[in-house]
Amino acid sequence: VQLQASGGGLVQAGGSLRLSCAASGSIFSVNDMAWYRQAPGKQRELVATITSGGNTNYAESVKGRLTISRDNAKNTMYLQMNSLKPEDTAVYYCNARIRRFQTSAQYTYWGQGTQVTVSS
């Protein structure tokens, strides 16, 4: 099982980006998914979460600007990032709880990270 994050880049303040995170492999079900980010010199922080049923939660610092969504048929999660600020600059990581075929256990997987840089 792998998580592949993509969509990062360099954007000016006020601009937009859309991140994607695709899960692949021997997957029975993808359950809770989340985006985290880690800025230079700081700890990794939770940005947003989404359940398999589509319930979402956001960090206060991103509410109203970032929107998490998912396409269960594609095992893919998205993060639409609008009105970006320089303080959003970080490596963004995706995370998912996945149940594989032939097991009842769920495991946590991480994507490799994608860099988002917002210039002022």
pLDDT score of 65: 98
Q: Report the distance separating Cα 66 and Cα 16, nearest Å.
A: 9
Residue 64 phi, psi (nearest 5) = 85, -10
pLDDT (tens digit per residue) in 28-84: 999 999 999 999 999 999 999 999 999 999 999 999 999 999 999 999 999 999 999
The pLDDT assigned to 102 comes to: 85
The pairs formed by 36-43 with CB atoms below 8 angstroms and a separation of 24 or more are: 36/92, 36/93, 36/94, 36/95, 37/88, 37/90, 37/91, 37/92, 37/93, 37/116, 38/90, 38/91, 38/93, 38/113, 39/87, 39/89, 39/90, 42/90
pLDDT on residue 47? 98
